[in-house]
Amino acid sequence: QISYVQPEGSEVQADLIGINGQSLKSVNFGQRAAGPQNLYMDMSSLAPGIYFIRLSAGGQSAIQKIYKQ
């Protein structure tokens, strides 16, 4: 689950990136309203380890490191 606050309504995309920089999965979550958001990206098929999520919305993006056990 990815939690964030969206300052204005816009289309949201999340990219899952491996530790080596390889793009593993991309999900378009469509148009989202402004305010607190929770998104879910299925990672059940991935091996345990460190991954990065790049969240893009409204012309901005942020990257967060995540650990899958």
Q: Over the stretch 12-46, which tens digit does the pLDDT of each residue have?
A: 999 999 999 999 999 999 999 999 988 888 889 99
Q: What is the Cα gyration radius of the chain?
A: 12
Integer Cα distance of 3 and 32 in angstroms: 13
Give pLDDT, residue 5.
85
Give pLDDT, residue 49.
95
Three-point CA angle 23, 64, 41, nearest 5°: 60
Token readout for 30 is 């469509």
Strand partners, 64: 53
